[in-house]
Amino acid sequence: MAEKARSSKALMVLAVVAGLAVAAAVVYDFWRALTVNPENPWAEFTLSKIFFGYRNLMFAVGAVVWVLGTAIFVLELAGRTVTRRGLERNRMGVAEWSVIDVALAALSAAVYGGLLAATAPIVFVPGFTWLRPANALAPLFGMFFGIPGCLGAAIGNLIADIVGGFFGVGSFGGFIGNFLIAYLPYKFVRDHSFSSASSIGEFYVWGVLAQAFVSATYICWWLDVAEALVGLPLFVVWGIIAPIIFSNNIVVNAVLSPVLGRVLFPLIKGRGLYWKDRIKAAQV
């Protein structure tokens, strides 16, 4: 037991260090790129070189992510989830939602959409993306509220697109992309309390590193495929937007989400809103 605890703590430390190191490296490298080429830092930014330089690979990976992500979105809302035993009921399909589920989805959408829209004036790519510190909340909505929170994050992003003047063809990718930001930690982080080594370590794997890559490739694959409708050059899609999504989600989720999660989880659970508790109560 002691050996298992030490191993869990070591993995937690490794995951946290990796997440924070990547976040710090991203910030430093963009500062370096901005210093070297203030007119066009994307030409010097390492992430831009990776995403655009390996565009064909990213496109192939993005296609897989898009198919799997879209299928998961449909299945989960239909009340089915993928497990090691195959498809099973998740007890959180839209058809099974209670009034509380609907309220939590609406609350998540309103809070997320409002906070995203608040920073919409700080634009990176006009009509497509902007500074988004509120992304730190998306994983928490999924972890705390389950599928209603995941859908709330998707709807909230759509609201922000509309209010901020970013609504367009690309919003479809952003809709499910933000669902996945909330879904990955909801699905794969076993302890959502942020109070144990495994909880924090798994969050940095799924809620920081994995979700940043998945959301960036999902959204940018869609923008790439819809190039004729969207009208963005491929360098803008993979050399600017993909690095922005990845960087923003890495940094804000590595720094803000664990702190907010540690503070908010006891409040959510204490009021009977935590999704696992609500499912157990419904089964009694």
Q: Decide: helix, strand or coil at residue 131.
A: coil
Cα–Cα separations (whole angstroms), residue 256 to 35, 73, 131, 165: 26, 26, 15, 26
Instruction: Determine the pLDDT at residue 257.
Output: 95
Q: 60: which residues sit within 8 A by CB, 6+ positions away?
A: none
Q: pLDDT band for position 126 (50/70/90)?
A: low
Q: pLDDT band for position 17 (50/70/90)?
A: confident
Residue 128 CA to residue 170 CA, distance in Å, equals: 7
Domain that holds residue 127: 2-283
pLDDT tens readout for residues 230-250? 778 999 999 999 999 999 999
Instruction: Determine the pLDDT at residue 124.
Output: 65
pLDDT tens readout for residues 43-70? 999 999 999 999 999 999 999 999 999 9
Q: How many domains does the chain have?
A: 1
pLDDT tens readout for residues 147-156? 999 999 999 9
What integer is the mean pLDDT of 263-275? 96
